[in-house]
Amino acid sequence: MKLHLGVTDTHWFRYLQRLDPPPEDINFWQPWGSQGFKALPEGGPFLFKLKAPLNAIGGVGFFASHTRLPLSVAWEAFEQRNGCATFGEFRDKILNYRRKFGDTTLNPTIGCIVLTDPVFFKQDDWIELPRDWKPNIVQGKGYDTSTSIGKELWSKVHYTLMGKYRWAQRGEEQKSPLMAREYDEPEFRQVLSRVRVGQGTFRVKITDAYHRRCAISGERTLPVLEAAHIKPYTQSGPHATANGLLLRSDLHKLFDTGYLTITRDHRVEVSGRIKEEFENGKEYYRFRGSELLILPEQDRDRPDPQFIDWHNSQVYNG
């Protein structure tokens, strides 16, 4: 099993550690958007290496995805789960990093390593660094439990999680998914694959699945694109790509309020109520009967018929 030990901003760690309730997902941001992240498979453990003088492992999250977003959009998606109390604080922290290298862009594109179900250890439970960790490592280092050092590292993290921490989900005490008996057995890998997806993760996954374009209009301007649930989360709709659409903000509002929907064959339906109630709607009726312009490449990520049926029967008013 692959692990990653990432060098972690201390303020980011301390702020997220204090959030109540604990965050369901977080943004481990990178000041420079050109950086990719291919060190972990989805669900892989990402360990928080605290900077000097702390020099310890302070917790773990689970890799959901990596993307690049304008700073303002990253804030909109994760808000305080970026590790800052306000957008101004978040912006200043990013810009200060970049200004050291002569960049003065006011809304730069940053890298976002999205992590779910983070656990922040109490200081008494911090874990010592692996014996091969070098002080000059700037970003992080990968490990694998097939090696003696990787196995020893994961054993310590696994023990800490088993002995010290329980997660609360929807008001019920629940064991960490890392309670599996052995860290390399199939059961453990299945548990990792079920790590929950939060609202910020949902936004990122939908944005990338739809290639950063509105599914209906093809609009590419990212700040006006929103991740829409087909069946709302408040109605037990999951944060799943198959329960989402990337829509321009006005189309999202029409979708949520029943003036617009899609069919099982991915065509757009527009309600006659727009004209009846607002004496307008030419902009929207042009989409009536048209196929979605953008769909995810993977069939499993495309709108699920059961969610489409729910929206058409419970929300849409044609």
| Span 235-266, pLDDT tens digits | 999 999 999 999 999 999 999 999 999 999 99
Report the pLDDT value the prediction gives residue 173, as an integer from 0 to 100. Answer: 41
Helix locations, 112-263, DSSP H: 148-164, 186-193, 199-209, 249-256
Q: What's the structural domain count of the chain?
A: 2
Task: Count the alpha carbons within 13 Å of 240 in the hemisphere toward its beta carbon.
Answer: 15
Phi, psi of 165 (to 5 degrees): -125, 140
pLDDT tens string 64-105? 999 999 999 999 999 999 999 999 999 999 999 999 999 999
Confidence (pLDDT) at 142: 97
Is the bond preceding residue 223 a cis peptide, omega within 30 degrees?
A: no
**Does 190 have pLDDT greater than 60?**
no
Q: What is the pLDDT of residue 305?
A: 98
Residues 184 and 216 placed together within one structural domain of the fold: no
pLDDT digits (tens, 9 = 90+) for 106-161: 999 999 999 999 999 999 999 999 999 999 999 999 999 999 999 999 999 988 88
Locus of tokens 């957008």 = 87
Give the pLDDT of residue 196: 57
> pLDDT tens-digit profile of 31-58?
998 778 999 999 999 999 999 999 999 9
The number of beta carbons lying within 10 Å of the beta carbon of residue 80 is 17
Once rounded to an integer, what is the mean pLDDT over residues 1-11?
A: 96
**Beta strands at 225-229 and 45-50: parallel, antiparallel or unpaired:** unpaired
Span 201-224, average pLDDT: 97
- Residue 82 sits in a domain whose CATH number is 2.30.130.30
Q: Which of 140, 165, 193 is the last residue of a domain?
A: 193
User: CB atoms < 10 A from the CB of 251, how many?
Assistant: 27
Answer yes or no: is 25 within a domain: yes
Domain assignment present for 307: yes
- Supply the range of the domain harboring residue 241: 210-314
pTM: 0.86
